[in-house]
């Protein structure tokens, strides 16, 4: 259940990559609107995922998971009724709200269910599914677009959400019985920080990095960041215990995961554009071209706990980050006349 839930949430982030041209042609959406169709989901989820995890700890992870799936499924059905760009952006943002409550619940439920000696392997499988979820979303949407319109993607997302909602009802409840106090100020501050910075980064390429609005968003985001740090350091039960980052292992691990996901979704988005707009692949063809990357992601994730015990995390992390950098470099060298073998090496 946990793996299926995170696969749906991550897959939904990338599911529309292959359909943006179809959405633009059918709805008249501008390039800016298409950007927010993709980013609205991710922005809403990023702003709320930390508070959502705290809500699950306090009020019950299964209840939060079910609530998130209800919101996700309902929001994913909206474009089937109102295929308008503005409504589509709003629906994707609402789906992102639901996804924010689903994602932390899946990991919390799983770690609560497995005994301590089995958790590393369980988390490794969960991470492998999360890492390959984007490809699964791209592949699923590409397959649907081969036979139906872009709205079929939302039919698939809605149906998957409903199926998981039924499955979630069979999961046992899990919560922190200590009932820690909710950090409302920290929750608001982190949402403001992430929201303003992401909006600024999204608008900067169009408006310019020196545009007053962009600079203002960055400035307010910086102030909100300072407020968040002060609030979290003073609270007995902070939303995010910033002192954990003093541990080099935790800090470097968090930075590594952040960079990996930034690269993963950014590169996948660009590679889809390259395959469809430059090389001329159809949606299904571009999805299939990316599919081989699932093999190392899942395979190495399964081996990682075993290797970490014997070699140490540092021995694994450094080559992994270097491999990511090498892949990005090879992707940057792709040309119109590049072969699929050249593309495959970048993956």
pLDDT at 129: 74
Closest by Cα among 20, 8, 255, 259 to 134: 8
The answer to whether 228 and 185 have CB atoms below 8 angstroms apart is: no
Domain 2-183+235-346 has CATH 1.20.1250.20: yes
pLDDT at 71: 94
pLDDT at 89: 92
Domain ranges of the chain: 2-183+235-346, 184-234
* 150 three-state secondary structure: coil
The full length of the chain comes to: 347
User: What does the H/E/C string look like for 268-320?
Assistant: HHHHHHHHHHHHCCCHHHHHHHHHHHHHHHHHHHHHHHHHHHHHCHHHHHHHH
pLDDT at 326: 85
* pLDDT by 10-residue block (mean), the chain, 347 residues: 77 82 84 85 88 81 87 92 88 92 79 68 70 79 86 91 87 66 81 87 83 89 88 81 77 75 77 82 82 76 71 72 83 82 80
In angstroms, the CA 123 to CA 118 distance is 9
In angstroms, the CA 68 to CA 99 distance is 6
């Amino acid at each position: 259940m946990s793996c299926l839930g995170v696969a749906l949430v991550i897959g939904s982030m990338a599911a529309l990559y292959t359909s943006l041209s179809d959405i633009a042609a059918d709805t008249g959406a501008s390039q800016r609107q298409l950007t927010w169709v993709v980013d609205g989901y991710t922005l809403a989820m990023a702003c709320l995922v930390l508070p959502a995890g705290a809500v699950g700890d306090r009020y019950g992870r299964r209840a939060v998971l079910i609530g998130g799936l209800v919101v996700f499924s309902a929001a994913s059905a909206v474009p089937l009724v109102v295929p308008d760009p503005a409504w589509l952006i709003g629906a994707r943002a609402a789906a992102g709200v639901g996804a924010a409550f689903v994602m932390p619940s899946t990991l919390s439920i799983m770690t609560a269910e497995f005994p301590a000696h089995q958790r590393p392997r369980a988390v490794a499988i969960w991470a492998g599914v999360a890492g390959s979820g984007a490809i699964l979303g791209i592949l699923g949407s590409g397959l649907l677009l081969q036979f139906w319109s872009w709205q079929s993607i939302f039919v698939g997302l809605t149906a998957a959400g409903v199926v998981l909602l039924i499955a979630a009802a069979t999961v046992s409840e899990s919560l922190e019985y200590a009932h820690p106090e909710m950090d409302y100020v920290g929750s608001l501050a982190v949402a403001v920080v992430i929201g303003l910075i992401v909006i600024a980064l999204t608008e900067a390429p169009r408006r310019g990095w020196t545009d007053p609005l962009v600079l203002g968003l960055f400035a307010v985001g910086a102030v909100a960041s300072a407020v968040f740090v002060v609030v979290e350091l003073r609270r007995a039960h902070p939303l995010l215990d910033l002192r954990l980052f003093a541990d080099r292992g935790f800090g470097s691990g968090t930075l590594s995961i952040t960079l990996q996901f930034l690269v993963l979704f950014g590169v996948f988005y660009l590679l889809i554009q390259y395959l469809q707009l430059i090389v001329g692949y159809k949606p299904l063809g571009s999805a299939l071209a990316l599919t081989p990357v699932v093999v190392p992601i899942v395979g190495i994730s399964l081996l990682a706990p075993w290797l970490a015990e014997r070699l140490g995390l540092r021995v694994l992390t450094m080559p992994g980050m270097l491999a990511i950098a090498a892949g990005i470099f090879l992707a940057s060298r792709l040309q119109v006349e590049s072969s699929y073998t050249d593309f495959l090496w970048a993956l």
